[in-house]
Amino acid sequence: MSDWGPVFVAVVLFILLTPGLLIQVPGHGRFMEFGNFKTSGLSILVHSLLYFALICVFLLAIGVHIANMFCFLGKASNQMADWGPVLIGVVLFVLLSPGLLFQIPGNNRQLEFGSMKTNGKAIAIHTLLFFALYAILIVAVHIHIYTG
């Protein structure tokens, strides 16, 4: 039985925390800017830390699971923490943040590298890439990293 809970949580957090879509901390002119479709290395770092904290809360502390179309919370008390979905999510969040390494589509070309800007189409494409890669690694390949 496949658990789609981590995939759902990771994709929703990717959308909500993509710098420049809803919010950017720090902004270019102020501490916080809303919907400016810009990013920076520092804002990606801050948003990645927020992503890490929130995905830890939802996957490790609360334990969100979706299986057989039913959502349930919690984990067995004897179950070890699985850091695989957390670490893979954070790495993909950084690598697929539009404007950092690349952006599809770019603002001026189909593919731009390191532009530190984004747009709605790029966020949609990068979200689809994030979903596909994360689902393959977590649901299909079943990558797990357990700690005691």
The predicted pLDDT at position 1 comes to 59
Residue 77 lies in a domain: no
In a domain, 74, yes or no: no
CA distance 73 to 65: 6
Count of structural domains, the chain? 1
Q: Is residue 139 part of a domain?
A: yes
In terms of residue numbers, what domain contains 125? 5-26+34-69+82-147
> Peptide bond before 26: cis, by omega within 30 degrees of 0?
yes
Instruction: Flag whether 118 is in a domain.
Output: yes
Interval 74-129: pLDDT, tens: 765 556 788 899 999 999 999 999 999 999 999 889 999 999 989 999 999 999 99
Closest CA to 94 of 133, 37, 65: 133
Please indicate, yes or no, if residue 86 is contained in any of the structural domains. Answer: yes
pLDDT in tens, 33-83: 999 998 999 999 999 999 999 999 999 888 887 776 676 677 655 567 888
Do residues 55 and 86 make contact, with C-beta atoms less than 8 angstroms apart? yes
Query: Does some domain include residue 75?
Result: no
Structure tokens at 140: 């299909």
Which two tokens mark 59? 């996957």
Q: Say if 54 falls within a structural domain.
A: yes
pTM: 0.88
Q: Looking at the domain assignment, is residue 119 inside a domain?
A: yes
